[in-house]
Structure 1
């Protein structure tokens, strides 16, 4: 049901973008469908220049699709039903639990209210702060609209911009380089983590998920920013284009955190070194946090995989962290998630290489960006033909609804009635 609801929203969004007053000139059905898919899945890849092709009403439709896609359709529906005083049945609770990737029915409504407050507060505060930069440079009316659009787009990790060249004109602006990353890091860290931070006692009152998410995110930010600065420091087309150390570190900061799912850029991504592109591909696959606006396999999945690997080498039969154990079922889920992600990315890359013109790095970068719902590209999106667009749209969709959704759809739960004797398999 959740997958069907997202597909329905994509089709409705594409139909809306085909209306005459949505665009300056006609766009094809393929362009409208791809743009709608990118907005609903908060990916940010674009086959048209959305800043120049879409009118104000077109941008408003994109903004609505981003908000619904980032917030979650079932979460939005529960907010509406709660506002109308409609009681929620077990079916609604079940859909909501799956949409928020929770294992329990407890605290669902409380979590939805927390989500609503966080979204409202973050997007309003972000828009007000961005006005400090956009209003002086573009005027009151346009500046206010640019601020609102970028605040919502950033918090939902969408990467869409109302500027033809994105945020490149604000590459060293302190407000943009502070507010935009803060918004997409907050949106991508997960509502459960934010709820824990504000409602539970510092550290000891936080859940294991919150602790793993914060430690893992901090480590990935340090790695992303540090390696971006190290690899691109003397690249004349990226960080090396600026003389001052402060400007280069500003660019390294912005682009070290943006591959985690945001998609905003202030430099030419196609000019990055191959080593940096490979680093960004890894960060895009990892993504952000569960119950967040970010994509990817999620930070906690990576951390649990590393903990399981460490436990294996230390000959431990139990996996634990911060005084809490992690069950076998969670480890098996991590294995399934990583396996499905690898198969999806490999299959899509193989099909793209077999049917599209382009080098391996550009195509692989595009596929990984689509799977992680990031929106970064090495300038290859506009070169996609009909089949290439279809493949990328499918990967964006599967990346948004979650690889495990595909696995649960294809699998059937069967209760075993027979236990077999243990056999030996030689591994490694």
Structure 2
């Protein structure tokens, strides 16, 4: 019996390149490919449209309690941070915005986490009971669906996954807020829902002025939030595959293996290193009980994975802790989830490519499977574009502020990785620096490959092979 070919993820460089159905069309399909490439532009434009609408609503008097000298920049920064599920703020979410404004922020987080085009495609399914080819391709690009025919079912699964995790987290948090912190059930319910949605979508927005520092020793708050962050950060394809084959390790795809094992490795390393650098420092973990130190270390390994919550003051952390956090923020979480960064799979594919090159092997293999050269090039492109964005953003912030390189670099990586952690300088940045961070958040959320594809849609494969030459490397 012939084994069916493995369904491979569609390439990130283009939402149509590598699609079996379109490749089967041959030359006659080139025109269709050209017309279908147009939706790549739709993703960033859709995010931009929602940001503009959200900023407009946040500028209304009904949305805010406070007043800022540059309300336009404040509203746009908050909208970008919400839609891009980052969590960086220039004003206190708990006191500056009215309950209506907080609802707007929550809606922007939910839409940004789910994906604008995925949401539009889902609405089309409800209204028209079907979805067009272009809509399927856009939704496939947004959700990184493993097979073209699975788009409809995956969209519904994504909704179910979000609803289940957010509902369970909201119930746990609501119960804790109501029992221990707020006797008013309505307020406790609102806080539970807000922080559950913010956690699962890796947004990092909180309705408390000190974020989660007040709950640093409360496992009933920290643990559910960390669990929701991990679930959202793994990525929807990983969750779906884990539900299907939780313990059939032989059936795990390479993507599933890289994401799960890579996440575990970085998770443990983050906790251990954070504890090693901060355990006895009174400014961070030193003043807490043993349980509080363990919870703080747990947060130190989870929150930098693009979640943005903080249970300690990162402005008081050691340079070593900030460096480790920078690395975790830049790598980020799993693909096709709510996390940002260059993604775990990108990082590990590059790592395996380097390891195989050191060993003198031409073919890159992972778990007895070879990794195509196109996948390696995509990983390298994503990583280098990310490095370039961070370097450019850091340079621009250094030119417009007086802060040290250490703090500015932390801020730019946090923005690009859609993390939301800060050493405390965000509140005092000039408008120019705020717009730089907005650009980094937007680039990080949309994805460097999507942005590059939207700019260079006219690229065509060469029909001839040029002579090969080898420059000196190293």
Q: Per the shorter chain, which TM-score range?
A: over 0.9
Partner of 1:111: 154
Give a deviation string over 1:22-63, Cα, whole Å, max 9, x none. 111334111111001100000000000011011111110000
8 Å contact kept, 2:145–2:237: no
Partner of 1:8: 49
Q: 1:285 aligns with which of 325, 330, 345?
A: 330
Partner of 2:445: 400
* Displacement of 1:286: 0.4
Task: Find the aligned partners of 1:150 and 1:85 in 2 and give their Cα distance.
Answer: 34
Query: For 1:24-423, what aligned pairs fall within 5 Å after superposition?
Result: 24-27=65-68, 28-102=71-145, 104-136=147-179, 137-139=181-183, 140-200=185-245, 202-242=248-288, 244-411=289-456, 412-423=458-469
4+ runs deviating over 4 angstroms: none
Task: Find the aligned partners of 2:455 and 2:125 in 1 and give their Cα distance.
Answer: 33
Task: Find the aligned partners of 2:189 and 2:137 in 1 and give their Cα distance.
Answer: 39
8 Å contact kept, 1:171–1:251: yes
Could you say what secondary structure the match of 2:370 adopts?
strand
Task: Find the aligned partners of 2:196 and 2:464 in 1 and give their Cα distance.
Answer: 56
RMSD between aligned alpha carbons?
A: 1.3
Give a deviation string over 1:126-167, Cα, whole Å, max 9, x none. 010112221121121111110000000000000001112211
Task: Find the aligned partners of 1:112 and 1:168 in 2 and give their Cα distance.
Answer: 36
Partner of 2:472: 426
Task: Find the aligned partners of 1:85 and 1:422 in 2 and give their Cα distance.
Answer: 52
Structure 2, gaps ≥5 residues long: 1-41
* Displacement of 1:84: 2.6
Partner of 2:25: none
Task: Find the aligned partners of 2:47 and 2:121 in 1 and give their Cα distance.
Answer: 16
Give a deviation string over 1:169-197, Cα, whole Å, max 9, x none. 11010111210000010001000000001
**Aligned pairs, number:** 427
Structure 1, gaps ≥5 residues long: none
Could you say what secondary structure the match of 2:169 adopts?
helix
Normalising by structure 2, we get a TM-score of 0.88
The verdict on how the C-alpha distance between 1:138 and 1:276 changes in structure 2, with shifts beyond 3 A counting, is same
Task: Find the aligned partners of 1:55 and 1:22 in 2 and give their Cα distance.
Answer: 5
* Displacement of 1:102: 4.2
